[in-house]
Amino acid sequence: MAIHLPILHIQHLTKRFFAVTAVDRVDLSIHAGELVCLIGPNGSGKTTLFNCVTGFLSHEEGHILFKGRDITHLSPHQIALSGLTRTFQIIRVFPKLTVLENLMLALQQHQEESFWKCFFRTSSIRQREAQARLRAEELLKFVGLTRLEHEPAENLSYGQRKLLSFIFALMPNPDLLLLDEPAAAVNPTMINKMKEYIKTLNGQGKTILLVEHNMEVVMDLAQRIVVLDHGQKIAEGSPAEIKQNERVIEAYFGR
Amino acid sequence: MKIPRILFWFCLVTFLAIFPLVVKTPYFIHIFILVGMYVIFALSYDLSVGQVGVLSLAHPAFFGVGAYTAAILSVNYDFPPLLCFLLGGILAAVLALGIGIPSFRLSQHSFAIGTLGFALIAELISRNWIDLTRGPMGIPGIPRPTLSIPYLFSWKIDTLTKFYYFMGILVLLGVGFYHTLATSRIGRAFRSIREDEILAASAGVHILKYKMIAFISGAAMAGIIGVYYAYWYTLVSPEQLSLYYTTNLLIIVFLGGRGSLRGIVLGAFLFTALPEFLRITPQLRLILYGIILLFVVLYFPDGIERILQRLTTPKRIISAFEKE
């Protein structure tokens, strides 16, 4: 068997906001097919790490390799197009666009065509639009939003928008999916549903990195847990190992 | 619902087509040409302001480039009008590229101010580069154009009615371009930027590229309509680059309805024709116009388009949720 290179390889990542070091020399590797959870107290740098990886923030030191390619200096849209998509902690959807339009947009840039082809809607464009639509409908069915496909996203409830933003990130069938608190601020039924979706996806071979505060969700889902505190990686291991880890307990509950 | 809409557009186009044959008053024909000009001008402006959601204040500069291109080339060098139309559009697009590259680095509000700076510079150049533009005197005596392609056709536009129909063709082209672009997947990318730039980037949308597409194609449209203006008005002066035009455009686009074709067409008609028709009471004209503007701003801040939406789709949203 060939040597497995990690799909995402973060080396010594450091991000400073003036005097504050939000992410401090973090190393992290994720292999294809893994489901890794990133946890840590508030302000420990989880979301900052996400923003660095997806190109929304530039970092001071370190390298980020995605599929063996250095994406350190790429802009967010280039990183997205290379097969790494994400959701946001604060739900983002395009409010005035319909659910279907939201999803179609999530895919169209991945099959980009020239201006005039798009303008004149050549047969290749129409074909791609049809493909995108099929994909969107498949995902809407997956999370049970089919009924709302022609509704502007602003008319959706909070939970529905959360689901929409989740399948939005799934539209281009990314090689790595970053989920920022998928179970935050939704009711228990939705949390269970979300867990099921994530499990199903991972079962199909999707590589997922997620930030989550809900420990029940984390312990249930994660194959491996990475713990950040004050921007530093303080522990890494299986859920059972993390539960026993002194430093983690200390970080969460104090001495 | 589909048939009445087609009928409506059919009636409108028919009405506009026979209008100059029935109404012989040059004044009204002039007003309709002006409305047509503002329809295209406002649509070109809306590509960046309404579709992408970036507030540019440099738009009259593109119009002015078109107008001056036509004036200088046809008065001094006797260029064929069709070539002037082409060059007017291209030069405006090139200028937009030059303004866009530095300006799009700025955030929302700074972008507006930055482009305002460019608009003022353009006006200053038109006033002070006397050798080229004759300064405040402007360039008069622009000849009536003859649109011709050798061996194919030749159309001398020398009467008001011909100008009217020429404008009709331009409006159809302009509306067609705007509508095709806005409903294509490029238009979808435009709106995604307007709605949420960060999410758009995370979906792989090259923000700068799409902003540029909207800005440059809008500028080209404005340049072309500037060329028309030069031929129609026969005089180009620095006033055509002034902020007066920005104000009119802002009124039409914002009170008509950003990002909406029918809102802008209607807005262009109302806010161009209205001040003219209000001339029946010369003393009260501007006061009435001001009051109407204030009324629209207060009660329909999202523009006339909102009123139309409420009339045409009253209960759609509610019905979708009743099923739950």
Q: Is B158 on the interface with A (CB under 8 A)?
A: no
Is A81 in Cβ contact with B192 (below 8 Å)?
no
Q: Is B320 on the interface with A (CB under 8 A)?
A: yes
B62-86 pLDDT, tens digit each: 999 999 999 898 888 888 888 889 9
A148 CB neighbours in chain B (<8 A) are 320
Q: What is the pLDDT of residue A3?
A: 58
Q: What is the pLDDT of residue B315?
A: 52
Closest residue to B201, CB basis, from A76, A115, A147: A76
A96-105 pLDDT, tens digit each: 999 999 999 9
Closest residue to A96, CB basis, from B195, B201, B320: B195
Q: What is the pLDDT of residue A1?
A: 43
Selected residue with higher pLDDT from A214 and B213: B213
Q: What is the pLDDT of residue B6?
A: 81
Closest residue to A109, CB basis, from B198, B204, B213: B204
Sign of the Cα torsion B301, B307, B308, B310 reads: positive
Q: What is the pLDDT of residue B319?
A: 46
Above 60 in pLDDT, residue A71? yes
d(CA A182, CA A199): 13
Task: Provide DSSP, B66-86.
Answer: HHHHHHHHHHHS---HHHHHH
Residues counted in chain A: 255
Closest residue to A105, CB basis, from B192, B198, B213: B192
User: Distances in Å between the alpha carbon of A31 and those of A67, A192, A223, B16, B67?
Assistant: 10, 26, 11, 66, 61
Is A56 in Cβ contact with B196 (below 8 Å)?
no
Question: CA angle A88-A93-A96, nearest 5°?
Answer: 160
Q: How far B184 CA sits from the closest chain A CA (Å)?
A: 6
Closest residue to B184, CB basis, from A86, A118, A172: A118
Above 80 in pLDDT, residue A78? yes
Q: What is the pLDDT of residue A170?
A: 93
For the complex shown, is ipTM > 0.95?
Answer: no
Q: What is the pLDDT of residue B321?
A: 47
Q: Is B193 on the interface with A (CB under 8 A)?
A: no
Is B202 in Cβ contact with A54 (below 8 Å)?
yes
Q: What is the pLDDT of residue B282?
A: 72
A81 CB neighbours in chain B (<8 A) are 204
Q: How far B64 CA sits from the closest chain A CA (Å)?
A: 27
DSSP secondary structure letter of residue B135 = G
Q: What is the pLDDT of residue A245?
A: 82
Which residues does A contribute to its contact with B (CB < 8 Å)? 54, 56, 75-77, 80-81, 85-86, 88, 92-97, 101, 104-106, 108-110, 115, 118-121, 125, 129, 147-148, 150-151, 155, 168-169, 171-172
Q: What is the pLDDT of residue B3?
A: 64
Low-confidence ranges of chain B (pLDDT < 70): 1-3, 313-324
Sign of the Cα torsion A87, A93, A98, A102 reads: negative
Selected residue with higher pLDDT from B153 and A223: A223
Is B204 in Cβ contact with A104 (below 8 Å)?
no
A134-164 pLDDT, tens digit each: 999 999 999 999 999 899 999 999 989 999 9
Q: Is B306 on the interface with A (CB under 8 A)?
A: no
Q: What is the pLDDT of residue A68?
A: 87
Q: How far B178 CA sits from the closest chain A CA (Å)?
A: 10
d(CA A104, CA A194): 22
Q: What is the pLDDT of residue B254?
A: 86
Is B195 in Cβ contact with A95 (below 8 Å)?
yes
Q: Where are the beta strands (DSSP E) in B152-283?
A: 153-156
Q: What is the pLDDT of residue A98?
A: 93
B207 CB neighbours in chain A (<8 A) are 77
Q: How far A218 CA sits from the closest chain B CA (Å)?
A: 25
3-state secondary structure of B257: coil
Q: What is the pLDDT of residue A87?
A: 94
Q: Considering only CA atoms, which of B38, B61, B109 is closest in space to residue B251?
A: B38
Q: Which residues pair with residue B139 across a beta bridge?
A: B236
A79-135 pLDDT, tens digit each: 999 999 999 988 999 999 999 999 999 998 888 778 888 888 888 888 899 999 999
What number of helices (H) and strands (E) belong to chain A?
10, 10
Q: How far B180 CA sits from the closest chain A CA (Å)?
A: 7
Is A56 in Cβ contact with B198 (below 8 Å)?
yes
